[in-house]
Amino acid sequence: MTSRPRDNLRFGPKQDARGRKPGRGVHGRLAVRAAPLLFRARVTLGALLCMVPLGGPATAIAEGRSAPCQSVTFEGARYLSCTFDPARTEFAVHLGRPDGTAYGSVRAFAASEGTSEDAPAVAMNGGMYHADLSPVGLYVEDGQERMGLVTSDGPGNFHLKPNGVFFVTEDGKPGVLETEAFAEANLPVRHATQSGPMLVIDGAIHPRILPNGSTRFIRNGVGVTEDGSVVFAVSLDRVSFGNFARFFRDHAGARNALFLDGKVSALAIGTDMQIGSWFPAGPILAAYPKGGGD
């Protein structure tokens, strides 16, 4: 395992600055990874997403069809960015199949669900998980809470406070809030996943993220803009936390954004894997065309 330089983040006395890989927390001795949270957003490949090339060249991923995602360059690094209109999209998180077996990866989820009538437009890993793929933090799927909100201190990126929650309310409104604000809001949610750290909080970069730490990994996250659009993003090059946070704030226009994972990030458009084909995943976040499925 490659050690993580201390200058990547501003660690406090309760934070783990000992050679842990970004994108992994540690619960006891179990490695925690941001897993693919599939949020069941029902959105057509074309109609469901708004492409927002705010900073730097942007290229549609697929020719000859409306692609929900674009490849963009920001501060010299390549990103794959998908921006969804929540009026045309539904989001959901998933851990496993109806028979209870875990998907285990975004690739397996995309292969299983990508040919169905209500296939997801985009899916990516969406939350940190233990070795058995169970969520580390809050996890709510179809209104059922499978893991409670974690507010305790601990090691790793998950506990680099403020951490946060991506959620979908009972009336279908998506959002990102830091954990304490989410707890105080006491929202009725249909889907939710907790991760950390927050990248952008009310338009400001997380105070403990250095502008350009020396540790760089492929990273992915989710953000919500001022107008309520939802942004899925994964870096195609290795980037620092600072670069990744600025991408969400300055390019994607996110008011709030949450880090989901590093190094094991994966994203699929339909059944086509764009990155991270063989990486494992716990929770999976997916976007679907609104009105599809059950």
Cα–Cα distance measured from residue 217 to residue 220, given in angstroms and rounded to the nearest whole number: 10
Pick from 181, 233, 197: which is nearest to 49 by CA? 233
Q: What letter represents residue 270's amino acid?
A: G
* Contact status, residue 168 vs residue 190, Cβ threshold 8 Å: yes
Phi and psi angles of residue 237, each rounded to the nearest 5 degrees, phi first: -120, 160
- Which pLDDT value is given to residue 214? 87
- Which pLDDT value is given to residue 61? 54
- Which pLDDT value is given to residue 60? 54
Query: What is residue 286's three-state secondary structure?
Result: strand
Give the number of residues written for the chain: 294
Q: What letter represents residue 78's amino acid?
A: R
Pick from 280, 282, 286, 263: which is nearest to 110 by CA? 286
Parts of the chain with a pLDDT under 50: 1-8, 10-57, 62-67, 293-294
Could you give the angle at the alpha carbon of 171 between the alpha carbons of 185 and 54, nearest 5°?
Answer: 80
**pLDDT one-digit tens code per residue, 39-97:** 333 334 444 443 333 334 455 554 323 347 999 999 999 999 999 999 999 999 999 99
Beta bridge partners of 233: 81, 221
Could you give the angle at the alpha carbon of 190 between the alpha carbons of 49 and 187, nearest 5°?
Answer: 105
pTM for this entry? 0.80
